[in-house]
C-alpha cells in the first residue's frame, strides 16, 4: 500500500510539473509584450503602465484566490482562472492597441493568471512531504521556470518571422493544453479539522519572508520590462540571450536545490543571493557588451532561483494545512507587489532618470530591502 501511495504521489507531481511547464510557457511568451508595445509606439511610461496593471490585478486577486482555494478546492479555481486567461489573451486580436479596452483585458488576464498560479503552488504544498518541501518545490519551479529560458528566444523568432499575433495565439494554445493535462489531477485540498483557528496569520516567519518575496518580484519586474527595452539590449538576439541567461541561472539553482545540495536549502544563503541581484543591476549601465548583459541575467537569475524555495518552505512550516492556499497566495502577492514597484513605479521614474538611472536606483532598493528582511529575520 505504501508503494502504491508513493507511486500515486510521484505521478501527481509529474502531472503538476507538466501543467506548470505549459502554463509557464504562456507567461514566458508574454515576456515579449513590452517589445510589442514599444514597436507599436508606446512610451516607457505606457509600457510600465500595462505591465504594472497586470501585476496590480494579480496582487489584488491573490488574497481572493487564497480564500477560494481553501474553501472550494484547487480544481475549480484553476480551471476557471485558466479559461478566463485564455479569453483575455485572445482579446488582443480584437483590441491590439493600448486603450481602455486593452487595459481592462490585461487586468482580467492578470487576475485569472493569479488563480492558476496560486492554485498550482498550493497543490505542490498539499502533495509535498513537509521535510522534503524545499526540494519538491525546487523541482516544481524548475519546470515552472524552464520555459522562461527557452520561450522568449522562440517567441522572438516567431514575432520576427510571423508577427506578434501568432505569438499570442501560441500563448493561448499552450494554456489550453495545460488545462487538458490538469484534468487528470485529483483534488488535493485536505479536510479542515474542526479545531483549526479562524485566524489567518502567517506566524513569526511571515514578515521577513514577505519582504524577501517583494525583493525578488522587484528584480524580476525590472528585468522583464526594462532590460528588454534598454540600449544594451537593442541589437537583434540580445533580448533572447538575456532571458536565456536569467532563466539558466534560475533553473540551475533550482535544479541543484532539488537534487539535494544542502547549503542551498539554508536561510544563510539568502544574503549572498540578494547581493548577486543588487550587483547585477548596478553594473548593467556600465557597458554595452552582450557579455555584460548575459552576466547580469545570470546573476539576477541565480539570486531569484536560490531565494524563492527557501522562502516558500519557511512560510509553509508556520501555517496550518487548512490555510495553505492563503499562505501560498500571500507569498505570490508579495512577489507581485515587488513586480509592480519594479514596473509601474520605475516606469514613471524612468521618464526623469532614464534607463541607466532605473538600474542604479533598482540596485539600491534591492540592497535596502534585503537589509530589512535580514533584520526582521534576526528579530
Residues 211-229: what's their mean pLDDT?
Answer: 88
pLDDT of amino acid 350: 65
pLDDT of amino acid 176: 95
pLDDT of amino acid 2: 57
pLDDT of amino acid 161: 85
> Please, is 283 exposed, middle or buried when counting C-beta atoms within 10 Å of its C-beta (0-12, 13-18, 19+)?
middle
Looking at per-residue pLDDT, the higher value among 171 and 235 belongs to 171
Q: What value does the mean pLDDT of the chain take? A: 83
SS3 99: coil
- Taking alpha carbons only, the member of 158, 140, 375, 148 closest to residue 254 is 140
Least confident of 100-104, 130-134, 247-251, 325-329: 130-134
**Is residue 201's pLDDT more than 60?**
no
Q: Map grid coordinates 480551471 to a residue.
A: 79
Please give the full DSSP string across 185-200, using - where no structure is assigned.
Answer: SPP-PPPPPTT--S--
Q: Are 343 and 48 in contact (CB under 8 A)?
A: yes
**Is residue 80's pLDDT more than 80?**
yes
| C-alpha cell recorded at residue 18 | 507538466
pLDDT above 70 covers a percentage of the chain that reads 91
Least confident of 70-79, 323-332, 365-374: 323-332
pLDDT of amino acid 377: 74
What is the band of 202 on the pLDDT scale with cuts at 50, 70, 90? Answer: low
- Taking alpha carbons only, the member of 148, 365, 363, 354 closest to residue 232 is 354
pLDDT of amino acid 191: 65
Q: Map grid coordinates 501585476 to a residue.
A: 55
Least confident of 172-186, 188-202, 245-259, 269-283: 188-202
Q: Are 258 and 138 in contact (CB under 8 A)?
A: yes
pLDDT of amino acid 112: 95
Q: Are 35 and 159 in contact (CB under 8 A)?
A: yes
List pLDDT tens digits, range 286-315: 888 889 989 999 999 999 989 988 888 888
CATH for the 2-188+202-378 domain, from 1.10.287.3510, 1.20.1250.20, 3.40.50.1970, 3.40.50.1000: 1.20.1250.20
What is the band of 203 on the pLDDT scale with cuts at 50, 70, 90? Answer: low
List pLDDT tens digits, range 90-125: 999 988 887 889 999 999 999 999 999 999 988 988
Task: For 131, list phi and psi in degrees, rounded to 5.
Answer: -75, -15
**Is residue 35's pLDDT more than 50?**
yes
C-alpha 365/C-alpha 345 separation (Å) is: 12
Q: Map grid coordinates 488576464 to a residue.
A: 109
- Taking alpha carbons only, the member of 95, 79, 33 closest to residue 176 is 79
**Is residue 195's pLDDT more than 60?**
no
pLDDT of amino acid 198: 44
C-alpha 24/C-alpha 56 separation (Å) is: 19
pLDDT of amino acid 81: 95
pLDDT of amino acid 229: 76
- Cβ atoms within 10 A of the Cβ of 154, count? 17
Amino acid at each position: 500500500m505504501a508503494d502504491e501511495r508513493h507511486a500515486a504521489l510521484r505521478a501527481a507531481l509529474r502531472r503538476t510539473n507538466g501543467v506548470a511547464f505549459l502554463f509557464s510557457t504562456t507567461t514566458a511568451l508574454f515576456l515579449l509584450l513590452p517589445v510589442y508595445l514599444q514597436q507599436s509606439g508606446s512610451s516607457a511610461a505606457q509600457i510600465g503602465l500595462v505591465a504594472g496593471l497586470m501585476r496590480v490585478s494579480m496582487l489584488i486577486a491573490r488574497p481572493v484566490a487564497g480564500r477560494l482555494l481553501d474553501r472550494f478546492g484547487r480544481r475549480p479555481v484553476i480551471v476557471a482562472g485558466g479559461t478566463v486567461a485564455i479569453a483575455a489573451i485572445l482579446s488582443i486580436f480584437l483590441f491590439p492597441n493600448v486603450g481602455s479596452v486593452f487595459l481592462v483585458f490585461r487586468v482580467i488576464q492578470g487576475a485569472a493568471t493569479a488563480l492558476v498560479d496560486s492554485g498550482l503552488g498550493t497543490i505542490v504544498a498539499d502533495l509535498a512531504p513537509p521535510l522534503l518541501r524545499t526540494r519538491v518545490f525546487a523541482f516544481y519551479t524548475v519546470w515552472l521556470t524552464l520555459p522562461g529560458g527557452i520561450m522568449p528566444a522562440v517567441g522572438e523568432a516567431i514575432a520576427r518571422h510571423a508577427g506578434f499575433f501568432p505569438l499570442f495565439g501560441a500563448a493561448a494554445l499552450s494554456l489550453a493544453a495545460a488545462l487538458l493535462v490538469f484534468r487528470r489531477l485529483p483534488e488535493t485540498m485536505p479536510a479542515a479539522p474542526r479545531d483549526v483557528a479562524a485566524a489567518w496569520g502567517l506566524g513569526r516567519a511571515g514578515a521577513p519572508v514577505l519582504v524577501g518575496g517583494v525583493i525578488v518580484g522587484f528584480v524580476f519586474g525590472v528585468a522583464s520590462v526594462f532590460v528588454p527595452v534598454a540600449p544594451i539590449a537593442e541589437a537583434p538576439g540580445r533580448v533572447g540571450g538575456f532571458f536565456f541567461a536569467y532563466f539558466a541561472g534560475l533553473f540551475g539553482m533550482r535544479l541543484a536545490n532539488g537534487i539535494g545540495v544542502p547549503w542551498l536549502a539554508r536561510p544563510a544563503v539568502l544574503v549572498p543571493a540578494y547581493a548577486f541581484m543588487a550587483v547585477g543591476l548596478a553594473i548593467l549601465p556600465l557597458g554595452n557588451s552582450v557579455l555584460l548583459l548575459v552576466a547580469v541575467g545570470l546573476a539576477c537569475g541565480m539570486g531569484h532561483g536560490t531565494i524563492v524555495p527557501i522562502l516558500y518552505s519557511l512560510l509553509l512550516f508556520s501555517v496550518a494545512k487548512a490555510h495553505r492556499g492563503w499562505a501560498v497566495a500571500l507569498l505570490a502577492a508579495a512577489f507581485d507587489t515587488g513586480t509592480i514597484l519594479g514596473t509601474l513605479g520605475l516606469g514613471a521614474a524612468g521618464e526623469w532618470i532614464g534607463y541607466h538611472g532605473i538600474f542604479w536606483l533598482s540596485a539600491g532598493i534591492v540592497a535596502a530591502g534585503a537589509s530589512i528582511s535580514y533584520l526582521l529575520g534576526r528579530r
